[in-house]
Amino acid sequence: MGCLGSLGAAVMDEETSKLLSTLDKKVMDYKETFETNVNETKKKQEKKLKERHEKLSNLKEKNEEITEATIKDLNNEELKVELESLANSLDKMHYIYELGLELVDPLKKITLNKLEEKAKSAPAITVKKIEEEIEAIKKQSAKDFLNSPNGKVLKNALEKKGMSKAMLNGTKKDLMKERGERRKKEREEFGIEKNEFDNENLEKVDFDFYALVEMEYNEKNKRYRDYVQEKMIEEICNKIYE
């Protein structure tokens, strides 16, 4: 895509600003759903951690060996809940992404109107380039437009609302920090030599979490949140603990 279209979209005019402001309320509308999902996952995690502690306590009281197989089984269950935490974040980001796609057509219209106005007063040698730009934009899919220079102003607005790789990486980092602190206390309490393994680190697993945000999802019988959690369990847990 040439520079003409991107120049037209780079200036935050009143019409574009008004369009992007519609994101505010729609993102806020999701807040309650997100908080409900987060609280649901926290309760599930608390239950799993309690069951984990009871299992290890019982083995210690019976003076039975806490084997690596036992630890990995417990880790597997804990990882599934951590992936549910990520599914919550992905669900929110996907919601914001779809809001963005809904705004592509009106933003595209604004962009095309700008270019058409520019063509009216442009030198003849430039008009052909503008017309080519216009035709190229018309053929772009919503996703391609959003990821183009012309869609940058919208993409930036979505990132500010929380659709961000950095935020997703931050969530993974927080989960691993919390896990590391728990596992350290566990090693000390139960005299376990090793209770975490490199291939379980969510910051290092070979999986593109963010790609799930921009995936097409039209399944009517299953929530996106549930689908991505199941997909992550299949692609991550099942490979780690196969």
The Cβ-side half-sphere exposure at 56, using a 13 Å CA radius, reads 23
What is the pLDDT, as a whole number, of residue 213?
96
| Helix-, strand-, coil-residue percentages of the chain, each rounded to 5 | 80, 0, 20
**Treating both helix axes as pointing N-terminal to C-terminal, what angle do 165-190 and 68-121 enclose, rounded to 10 degrees?**
170
pLDDT, residue 2, reads 39
Tokens at 171, concatenated: 């969530």
Token duo for residue 66: 């806490």
pTM here is 0.89
Cα separation, 219 vs 17, whole angstroms: 33
Q: Read off the pLDDT of residues 26-51 as tens digits, 9 standing for 90 and up.
A: 999 999 999 999 999 999 999 999 99
Q: Is residue 146 classed exposed, middle or buried when 0-12, 13-18 and 19+ CB atoms within 10 A define those classes?
A: buried
pLDDT at residue 232 in the model: 97
Mean pLDDT by 10 residues, the chain (242 residues): 39 87 94 95 97 97 96 97 97 96 96 93 90 95 95 96 95 97 97 94 95 90 93 95 86
Measured CA angle at 90 (ends 87, 92), to 5 deg? 110
Q: Residue 6: its pLDDT value, please? A: 42
Please identify which residue in the block is written with the tokens 């490979």: 239
pLDDT at residue number 11: 52
Contacts of 42 (CB under 8 A, 6+ apart): none
Instruction: Indicate the residue type of 63.
Output: N
Of 207, 204, 202, the closest CA to residue 179 belongs to: 202
Whether residue 6 contacts residue 149, with contact meaning beta carbons closer than 8 Å, is answered with yes
Query: What are 221's two structure tokens?
Result: 């019988």
Residue pLDDT, tens place only, 170-202? 999 999 999 999 999 999 999 999 999 999 999
